[in-house]
């Protein structure tokens, strides 16, 4: 079964079954859950079975299919994070939760494409966040459910082996395509930028966005070896001539601001592939939730936390990612 938005009492009962779970919810609720086979992350925005919902009072619990095999729960710090894919099972999948705005978030965003065994083993997950009213007041956390230990400095991972007759597949639903504006190239990568070249001309990105009145709800889009990957704008500081992003840009890669989307829900329904009856895990981006006003609306059969970033091997922005297990 796929995940559901449930009351704390139902979440407790599910965890006590001994199965393996990914759990998303407000930090205060996560801390009250029993010890068990689960990893968790803080967030208060969800695509529940009844539609988009913001709540501090319920938890999103996703049972992870194991087919009777024994998963491994591991916590990674900054030093051990690069071995996350090496530790993954030779045949299976891994679910990862990373606390936003932390050293491990930055390290994964910048360096994950170069980790050993990356792209060879399915890695999916999300960036833990918090209610937007709490940004700057407390930090997002992940949870090691074995001890119900909360951490804002580590990454929580469940490595799940699969029988040979089962296969894990990760897919990305990205509604955005590059617009017809000029290419933007950065001389230096990172989570913020100032100097860049727009259509070959040296400019400051903050000045360019302000002068062109660009809608920063639209991400930058680049072609990463055939996959369209978004980089979402977090803030434009005209005074400091700096633009901050939710994911890093990479040097010498061509980006363009995305083409506008008239109706997100309709576009999303059209983008969903045929034949996906029930995913094993999925998550979507909080920016899609906010900008497209998804409160009370459904996005097909897909449910899950609305996150501060998505992981489909590497860090994603303004996408939905999902895992399916097939014969």
Report how far residue 89's alpha carbon sits from residue 112's, in angstroms, rounded to the nearest whole number: 18
Any domain includes 199: yes
Q: Do 201 and 232 belong to one domain?
A: yes
Report how far residue 22's alpha carbon sits from residue 3's, in angstroms, rounded to the nearest whole number: 9
| Section 121-128 average pLDDT | 98
pLDDT attached to residue 279: 67
**106, two tokens:** 């930055």
Number of domains in the chain: 2
Q: Do 197 and 233 belong to one domain?
A: yes
| Section 274-284 average pLDDT | 76
User: Which residue blocks in the chain are alpha helix, DSSP H?
Assistant: 8-15, 27-30, 103-111, 205-212, 264-271, 286-291
Report how far residue 123's alpha carbon sits from residue 83's, in angstroms, rounded to the nearest whole number: 12
Mean pLDDT for all residues in the chain: 93
Report how far residue 138's alpha carbon sits from residue 128's, in angstroms, rounded to the nearest whole number: 12
Q: Do 142 and 238 belong to one domain?
A: no
Question: Is the model's pLDDT at 150 over the cut of 60?
Answer: yes
Which residues pair with residue 236 across a beta bridge?
243
* CB-based contact 152:30 (threshold 8 Å): no
Domain boundary (206, 224, 257) is at 257
DSSP string, 187-245: SS-EEEE-EEEETTEEEEHHHHHHHHT--TTSPEEEEETTEEEEE-EEEEETTTTEEEE
Determine the number of helices (DSSP H) and then strands (DSSP E) in the chain. Answer: 6, 27
Any domain includes 179: no
Domain carrying residue 291? 4-173+265-326
Q: What is residue 10's DSSP assignment?
A: H
Domain boundary (236, 257, 278) is at 257
Any domain includes 250: yes
* Beta strands at 254-257 and 220-224: parallel, antiparallel or unpaired: antiparallel
Q: What is residue 268's DSSP assignment?
A: H
pLDDT attached to residue 188: 92
* CB-based contact 160:69 (threshold 8 Å): yes
**Model pTM?**
0.92
What confidence category does residue 228 fall into, taking pLDDT thresholds of 50, 70 and 90?
A: confident
What confidence category does residue 275 fall into, taking pLDDT thresholds of 50, 70 and 90?
A: low
Q: Do 143 and 283 belong to one domain?
A: yes
**142, two tokens:** 């992940």
Q: Do 122 and 203 belong to one domain?
A: no
* CB-based contact 130:140 (threshold 8 Å): yes
Domain boundary (257, 280, 300) is at 257
CA-to-CA dists, residue 4 to 15, 47, 60, 221, 281, angstroms: 13, 9, 5, 31, 11
What confidence category does residue 274 fall into, taking pLDDT thresholds of 50, 70 and 90?
A: low
């Amino acid at each position: 079964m796929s995940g559901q938005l449930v009351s704390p009492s139902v979440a407790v009962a599910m965890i006590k079954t001994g199965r393996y779970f990914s759990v998303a919810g407000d930090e205060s609720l996560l801390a009250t859950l029993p010890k068990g086979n689960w990893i968790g992350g803080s967030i208060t925005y969800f695509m529940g079975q009844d539609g988009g919902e913001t709540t501090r009072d319920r938890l999103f619990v996703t049972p992870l299919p194991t087919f009777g095999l024994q998963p491994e729960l591991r916590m990674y710090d900054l030093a051990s994070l690069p071995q996350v894919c090496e530790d993954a099972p030779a045949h299976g999948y891994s679910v990862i939760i990373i606390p936003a705005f932390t050293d491990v978030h930055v390290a994964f965003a910048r360096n994950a494409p170069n980790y050993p065994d990356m792209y060879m083993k399915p890695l999916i997950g999300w960036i833990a966040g918090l209610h937007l009213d709490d940004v700057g007041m407390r930090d997002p956390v992940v949870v090691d459910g074995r001890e119900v230990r909360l951490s804002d400095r580590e990454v929580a991972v469940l490595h799940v082996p699969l029988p040979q007759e089962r296969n894990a597949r990760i897919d990305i639903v990205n509604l955005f395509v590059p617009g017809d504006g000029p290419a933007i190239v950065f001389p230096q990568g990172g989570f913020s930028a100032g100097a860049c070249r727009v259509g070959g001309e040296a400019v400051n990105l903050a000045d360019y966005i302000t002068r062109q009145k660009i809608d920063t709800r639209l991400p930058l889009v680049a072609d990463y070896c055939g996959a369209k990957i978004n980089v979402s704008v977090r803030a434009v500081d005209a005074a400091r001539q700096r633009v901050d992003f939710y994911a890093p840009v990479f040097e010498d890669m061509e980006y363009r601001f995305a083409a506008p989307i008239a109706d997100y829900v309709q576009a999303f329904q059209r983008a969903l592939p045929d034949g996906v009856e029930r995913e094993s895990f999925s998550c979507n981006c909080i920016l899609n939730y906010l900008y497209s006003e998804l409160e009370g609306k459904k996005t097909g059969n897909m449910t899950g936390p609305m996150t501060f970033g998505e992981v489909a091997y590497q860090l994603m922005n303004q996408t939905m990612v999902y895992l399916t297990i097939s014969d």
